[in-house]
Amino acid sequence: MAMVKKQVVILGAGFAGLQLARRIRSSDYEITLIDQYNFHQFQPLLYQVATARLEPSSISFPLRKVFQKKHNVHVRLAKIKQVETASKKVITDAGDFSYDYLVIATGCTTNYFGNTNIAQFAFPMKSTTEAITLRNRILLNFEDALSATESELPAIMNIVVVGGGPTGVELSGSLAELKQNILPKDYPDMDFSKLTVYLLEAGSATLGVMSKASQQKSQEYLEAMGVHVRLNAHVKDYDGKTVTLDDGSTIPTNTLIWAAGVTGNVPTGIDKEKLVRGNRIKVDAYNLMDGSDNIFAIGDIAYMESSSFPKGHPQLANVAIAQAKNTAENLGNLLLGKPLKIFTYKNPGTMATVGKRKAVVDLPFMSFQGRLAWFVWMFLHLMLILSVKNKLIIFINWAVSYFTNDTTLRLILLPTKRRE
């Protein structure tokens, strides 16, 4: 009689979930990978989709293709309704899935800090579909501007980015380059001196987690590119037409891009007492949920304190991948009855790009900015892309953009409604 394989259910196919599934696909586990999308999306480059530099397919990769010929890996397109820890079962809109080991890798979602108006009217950018929606809005702005009245123009021509972290900085820089290099060629009859990109940061510096040198340089780059950087700027409200700040000042805009924070995307059924700051799941040194011996949490959703990271690990792709590798090894150890391996992380550094030949890099032993930092940023991001084909497509797009200061991807693709 054949031995029944143990079931591993992985929730989420981001950096952590996908890396784990790939690492254990040749094991003796029966693996179910559940995600609401049938593709993996490379989130660090979503801003380039939003600004029409890359097509969505360039940074997305079909999950089923990754696991072709692996009959023990089952990809399921579903939304998670609830995790029943007592019965070891995940309830989804596509059925129920039993597990011996559950791995929660559901990542984070946009944090609006309880402001329902901002949640309703702002544009988030945490998924490929949201990036496409934002791209449509940005491009439609300029079509609308052609027939707008003088009173309507300010709201159309102001683009406000909230959040001065890597996403906000990279997006603001990309919008500034769009204004400078591309839009005047597409719309020769428009005055783009009226197009203003605002970057609003609640803290005292852009790229708050990076070194002082990188913070100062990133702000210098942005301001030289024409971005209006406002620090210590707290957004109070947004009604779809006007941004209101705590100091009473306002900015008219139809396009508010929210990159100001994230909150853990915790499945229903997880004990709220296991959650900590940022709505993350507290885990031990093995990435096991606090008090559990069969539920792991990895990636952005996991909160692990250590001597090197007393406030938890940063929510970065490198951390997610490293935790997935360690968890894969531990799942193998559980099959063999071996002791679990403690997760340790050595920070390789952080980086952000602002524009062409403008980037900042912080390594554990040094910081540098400029052209070299930009090439390092491009190389490392290309290495993280999943397939050789996608790497090649992105490299070609970047090369063409480098030499021509242009792209050919400014397509407005709106969903259609079926006729009744």
| 2 alpha-carbon distance from chain centroid | 43
* Final residue in a domain of this structure, among 229, 260, 291: 260
Structural domain contains residue 304? yes
Residue 374 tokens read as 């930009």
Single out the residue in 244, 260, 276 at which a domain terminates: 260
**Total-model pTM:** 0.91
Total count of residues recorded for the chain: 420
Task: Tell me the average confidence (pLDDT) per consecutive run of 10 residues in the chain, 420 residues long.
Answer: 81 96 93 95 92 90 91 95 96 96 96 93 92 92 90 94 95 94 87 93 92 94 96 95 95 95 94 94 96 95 93 92 97 95 92 93 91 92 86 88 78 68
354 part of a folded domain: no
Q: CATH no. for residue 190?
A: 3.50.50.100
pLDDT of res. 3: 67
Q: What is the CATH number of the domain that holds 309?
A: 3.50.50.60
Quick one: 148 and 72 in the same domain? no
Given 314, 336, 358, the domain boundary residue is 336
Q: Are residues 120 and 256 in the same domain?
A: yes
Are 44 and 149 found together in one domain? no
pLDDT value of position 420: 52
Q: Are residues 217 and 130 in the same domain?
A: yes
364 part of a folded domain = no
In sign, the C-alpha dihedral spanning 36, 41, 43, 48 is negative
In DSSP terms, 160 is beta-bridged to 198, 256
Q: Which residues contact 278 (CB under 8 A, 6 or more apart)?
A: 108, 262, 263, 264, 303, 312
Q: Which domain holds residue 278?
A: 7-110+262-336
Q: How many domains does the chain have?
A: 2
Residues known to be catalytic: 170
Q: Give, in order, the Cα–Cα distances in Å from 363 to each of 28, 205, 210, 367.
A: 39, 19, 10, 6
Q: Which helix (DSSP H) or strand (DSSP E) does residue 216 occupy?
A: helix 212-224
Q: Which long-range contacts (CB under 8 A, 24 or more apart) does 311-314 make?
A: 312/276, 312/277, 312/278, 312/280, 313/345, 314/209, 314/347, 314/350
User: Are 297 and 271 in contact, with CB atoms under 8 Å apart?
Assistant: no
Which amino acid type is present at position 317? A
